[in-house]
Structure 1
Amino acid sequence: MPTISRKGLLMPESPIRKLVPFAEGAKKRGVKVIHLNIGQPDIKTPQIAIDAIKNCDMDILAYSRTEGSDTYREKIAQYYAKNDIHVLAQDIIVTTGGSEALSFTMGTIADAEDEIIIPEPFYANYNGFATAAGIKVVPVVSHIESNFALPPIEEFEKLITPNTKAILICNPGNPTGYLYSREEIKKLAKIVKKHNLFLIADEVYREFTYDGKEHYSILQEEGLEENAIIVDSVSKRYSMCGARIGYLVSRNKEFVKTALKFAQARLSPPTYAQIASEAALDTPQEYFDDVKKEYVARRNVLISELKKIEGIKVAEPQGAFYCIAELPIDNSDTFAQWLLEDFNVDGETVMVAPAAGFYATEGLGTKQIRIAYVLEKEELIRAVYIIKEALKAYKS
């Protein structure tokens, strides 16, 4: 019998999607499932993006340029300039989602057995991209007690080896919602320059910062021209997850030139989605103001309701739309599956994302879940009530 690759066997399951069969089973039994597991916003996509596709009258749906259309990349550069990030169109490669941008980045900067240091918990697919590239993820632990703040820089220093190629952060963070401060970014900038490393920042949630706090990009930090790489996406910013458009951005010309070769191997990003994404850049500021206001209200309701449950520990997100909660249970994977298979309140249950899959260190996060607060406030209140009743009934 033919054998599967070692790489394939090591590829991790998605902690977000692996419970889908159990959710589908619950729905077939007539149970309503409230989805707290996935960051699919219920916010409407800007109409300007939808209309751009509806009104497109092209006769041939042709390949686009490998790096994305000139007009789109020029407008992306203008968008960044409004955010005090000054780059040129040629510093940008449009990709098929932020996922492809991350994949191209890892392939460009690291060889098999090289290492990337990542504060954990982190976006689960970083593990998958690293496995596909044969790269070793070296985690540095952040803690719920400190709201998942940047670990002491000395902890990073201890982990740097001759094989270390980069430090990767998500800012604001998925799954934690933590927003790195200007001071924390400066600490990271200092260490990557000292050790001649890349600093990769996944900044797809840049617009979603709360409590008067502002996002500080690594490309706003002077002196990182050769070190800084941004991964970005339209998915969450414009509620366009299905467009599958992202981009990577760097002033390091050698990096961009090399990443473009990876992009050429997949030909081009999707044409229609670029049309919609380019139009979305003209979305008025009021859209983002309203979306932020809504997410703050949802966050406040969620955190308030969770804190009413005895034995729960919860981090308070300052950005994005996720939070990590630690439950009084032994194993959140087992609990999450039990919620879908064996528990409901008046025909309703919840689907959560077990947090162990957001860690690289074995044994961490086993009592934690990630909650995406992308639902209306009333639905979030109902979901937390179901979790509260479930914890009463659950025998860990």
Structure 2
Amino acid sequence: MPTISNKGINMPESPIRKLVPYAEAAQKKGKNIYYLNIGQPDIKTPEIALNAVRTHSLDILAYSRSEGSEAYRIKIAEYYKRNDIHVTHNDIIVTTGGSEALLFAFGSIMDEDDEIIIPEPFYANYNGFSTASGIKVVPVISKIEDNFALPPIEEFEKLITPKTKAILICNPGNPTGYLYSKEEIKQLADIVKKHDLFLIADEVYREFVYDGIEHYSILQEPGLEEHAIVIDSVSKRYSMCGARIGYLVSKNKELMKTALKFAQARLSPPTLAQIASEAALETPQSYFDDVIEEYVKRRNTLINELEKIEGVKVAKPNGAFYCIAELPVKNSDNFAKWLLESFDYNNNTVMVAPAAGFYSTPGVGLNQIRIAYVLNEESLKMAVKILEGALKVYKD
């Protein structure tokens, strides 16, 4: 009988999506579910992007250039310039989502069994991308008590070996919502320059920062030109998750030359989605102002309601639209399944993402969940009320 690869066997399940069958079964029983598990915004996609697809005049839906259309990349560079990030269109490769950008980066800078250091908890698919690329994640744990701030830089230094090729951060963070300060970025810059490593920053939530704090990109840090790699995407910025358009951005010419070969191997990013994404760059600032105001309200509502529940600890996010909550349970995976299978509050329940899947260290985060505050305030209040009721009767 043909066998499955070890790589395939070792690919982790998505902690976000693996509970879908339980949710579907709950729906068939007539339960209403409040979805707190996935970062799919309910914010409307800018009309300008949708209209660009509706009114396009293409006769043939042809390939684009492997690195993405030149006109689009020029406009992306202009977008970055408006954000005080100075790159040219030649420093940008358009990818099929931020996921492909990260895979191109991994493939370009690491070989089998090389190592990448990542502060955890981190976006769960980093585990999957690393497994697919045959590389090893070396975690450095950030703590809820510290609001998931950057761990002491000495902890990174202890983990660097001859096989270490890069440090990866998500800024602002998924799943924590933590926003790294300029000082923390400078600490990371110093260590990657000292040890001649790459610094990869997943900056897809750049627009979503709160409380008057500014986002500081690694591309803004002087002296990182050969070290900095940014992963970006239109998915969350314009509520266009289904477009599957992302970017790989770096001033390192050798890296970009290498990444282009990976881009050529998959031919091109999707043409229609590029048309929508190029148009989305014309979205007025008022759109983002309104979206950020809405997310701040939701964040405040969520955190305030969670803090009322006895035994719950929550970190306050300064960016993105996620938070990590620590619950008075032993295993949040079992709790999440129980919520869908066995519990309801007036025929309502909630779906959460168990946080252990956002760590690579075994046994860490077992009593934590990630919550995406992508529902309106009233729905968030109801969802937390359901969660509170569930915790009162749940027995591990």
TM-score between both structures, scaled by the size of structure 1: 1.00
Partner of 1:387: 387
Query: Shift of the alpha carbon at 1:158?
Result: 0.0
Instruction: Report the AA paired with residue 10 of structure 1.
Output: N
- CA distance in 2 between counterparts of 1:353 and 1:286 reads 32
Partner of 1:172: 172
1:259 aligns with 2:255: no
- CA distance in 2 between counterparts of 1:226 and 1:303 reads 40
Partner of 2:287: 287
Stretches (4+) displaced over 2 A? none
Query: Shift of the alpha carbon at 1:263?
Result: 0.6
- CA distance in 1 between counterparts of 2:269 and 2:162 reads 35
- CA distance in 1 between counterparts of 2:336 and 2:350 reads 8
Alignment of 1:133-282 (within 5 A): 133-282=133-282
Instruction: Report the AA paired with residue 59 of structure 1.
Output: D
Post-superposition CA distance 1:287-307 (Å, at most 9, x none): 000000000000000000000
- CA distance in 2 between counterparts of 1:197 and 1:26 reads 47
Post-superposition CA distance 1:168-207 (Å, at most 9, x none): 0000000000000000000000000000000000000000
Partner of 1:101: 101
- CA distance in 2 between counterparts of 1:210 and 1:378 reads 21
Instruction: Report the AA paired with residue 216 of structure 1.
Output: Y
Partner of 1:373: 373
Instruction: Report the AA paired with residue 375 of structure 1.
Output: L
Post-superposition CA distance 1:337-368 (Å, at most 9, x none): 00000001111100000000000000000000
Post-superposition CA distance 1:64-110 (Å, at most 9, x none): 11000000000000000000000000000000000000111101100
Gaps of 5+ in 2: none
Counterpart secondary structure, 1:173? coil
Instruction: Report the AA paired with residue 31 of structure 2.
Output: V
- CA distance in 2 between counterparts of 1:170 and 1:161 reads 22
Query: Shift of the alpha carbon at 1:150?
Result: 0.1
- CA distance in 2 between counterparts of 1:342 and 1:321 reads 28
Counterpart secondary structure, 1:333? helix
Instruction: Report the AA paired with residue 90 of structure 1.
Output: N
TM-score between both structures, scaled by the size of structure 2: 1.00
Partner of 2:354: 354
- CA distance in 1 between counterparts of 2:264 and 2:370 reads 36
Gaps of 5+ in 1: none
What is the aligned-residue RMSD (CA, Å)? 0.3
1:122 aligns with 2:125: no
Post-superposition CA distance 1:242-289 (Å, at most 9, x none): 000000000000000000000111000000000000000000000000
- CA distance in 1 between counterparts of 2:136 and 2:318 reads 29
- CA distance in 2 between counterparts of 1:26 and 1:109 reads 44
- CA distance in 2 between counterparts of 1:390 and 1:104 reads 43
Query: Shift of the alpha carbon at 1:57?
Result: 1.3
Counterpart secondary structure, 2:104? helix
Instruction: Report the AA paired with residue 232 of structure 2.
Output: D
Instruction: Report the AA paired with residue 119 of structure 1.
Output: P
Instruction: Report the AA paired with residue 250 of structure 1.
Output: S
- CA distance in 2 between counterparts of 1:185 and 1:392 reads 42
Counterpart secondary structure, 1:62? coil
Partner of 2:317: 317
